[in-house]
Amino acid sequence: MAMQHSLEMLTKCLLLEFGNPNKLFDRDRNRSQGLRKCLGLARMNKTIKLTPDEAGIIAAIDEMRDAEQHWHNYVSEGILYHHLRAAVTLIDDLLQRCLKERLADHLPARVLPISTEPLRDLQVLVDSEFSQVQKLLQPGKRTTPEGKARIRTLLALHSHADPDYDFGEKEVEQVAQEIKAGKSRTEVLPALTDINSVVSGEGLNVNVRISKNEGLEVKYVNDPEQATGIRKVDLRDHFAISFNDLADKVGLSTMRLSALRSHAGIDSDPECRHVWSFGKVQHAGYSQKAIKTLKESLEKVDMTNIWQAHNPMWKGGRDNLCIQPGCAAKKNKR
């Protein structure tokens, strides 16, 4: 919890120094922006230049903190130490990049996190953790709560692959059921195969950097028979986010989200929104890409103008009043 707080405060301090202070305050909620919003701002800042890998480290630690504070979480010594050392390395990198200072100038090496276990490869740690979960979820054992506690840590590691990733108890239960069904780690948690860590130095001066591997090259073909591999996706899982949940994750009221949704045009993007029809009843679900698209749009626009132009209460619409960049609603009316 202390490391998460340190990373959040450092990120906000750097944004206050090198960014727009007005964007650090959420006027809708009357409080400072959350960490995820600040990570997006830091990634766009020309001085901070936070990379997706660096944002993933902060997001993973943030997810572990949330799981520990609001649920029951278990983080192994190896994974905890790995992330604490990665966080120390990141803090040093940010101080040097933005302020031309080193962490060692302010903090003696003897107080940095240490462990009785040597640093191991991150993939080895994930494999070990997954094996422990498999044992804990075996039939006849009363260790399911501990197994789910470890699953929360594994899901938190998804943030390395996607800094905008978020999970809840529904995802924890789904992973638990798939593990009980005998599925392998690559089947249950495919995103974790794409992350690795690089360790340099030794002793108190060790540096750890966690990053995402580059994916395989993808070639689009017109003939489906030419495809070399097909992955089936359950649409209910892919578009599992309701409109109200989407508003919570983006950090807006449902009314203001409706306005931003019209501006960003996510309803017409099949990768962001899917609608199921049950007779005369329709139900819409949103994907993780919808969250990412809306957050990126929110960072670039003036929400006051978005609200004036796309307020869903206006009869007849005022989309042409929008002067913000990338307005999908205005473009569609031309």
pLDDT tens readout for residues 44-76? 888 998 988 899 899 999 988 887 776 778 888
Considering the entire predicted model, what is its pTM?
A: 0.63
Mean predicted confidence (pLDDT) in 307-311: 83
- To the nearest whole percent, how much of the chain has pLDDT over 90? 17
Mean predicted confidence (pLDDT) in 276-303: 83
pLDDT computed for residue 195 by the predictor? 84
Q: Helices marked H in the chain — which ranges?
A: 2-18, 35-44, 52-70, 77-94, 122-136, 144-156, 169-180, 185-188, 235-238, 243-250, 254-264, 288-300, 303-310, 328-332
pLDDT computed for residue 245 by the predictor? 84
pLDDT computed for residue 98 by the predictor? 94
pLDDT at 168 over 60: yes
Q: Are 73 and 153 in contact (CB under 8 A)?
A: yes
Q: Are 114 and 89 in contact (CB under 8 A)?
A: no
pLDDT at 135 over 80: yes
Report the 10 Å Cβ neighbour count for 323. Answer: 13
Mean predicted confidence (pLDDT) in 151-168: 85
pLDDT digits (tens, 9 = 90+) for 102-116: 888 887 766 666 666
pLDDT computed for residue 315 by the predictor? 62
Distance between CA 309 and CA 303 in Å, rounded? 10
pLDDT computed for residue 179 by the predictor? 92
Stated length of the chain: 334
Q: Are 204 and 109 in contact (CB under 8 A)?
A: yes
pLDDT computed for residue 110 by the predictor? 63
Q: Which helix (H) or strand (E) holds 36?
A: helix 35-44
Domain ranges of the chain: 2-212, 235-332
pLDDT at 20 over 60: yes
DSSP 152: H
Mean pLDDT (the chain, rounded)? 81
pLDDT digits (tens, 9 = 90+) for 196-213: 888 876 655 677 778 776
pLDDT computed for residue 93 by the predictor? 92
pLDDT at 286 over 70: yes
Residue 95 pLDDT grade (very low, low, confident, very high; cuts 50, 70, 90): very high
Residue 310 pLDDT grade (very low, low, confident, very high; cuts 50, 70, 90): confident
pLDDT at 277 over 80: no
pLDDT digits (tens, 9 = 90+) for 211-270: 776 554 445 455 555 544 444 455 666 787 888 888 888 888 888 888 889 888 898 888
- Greater confidence (69 vs 162) lies with 162
- To the nearest whole percent, how much of the chain has pLDDT over 70? 84
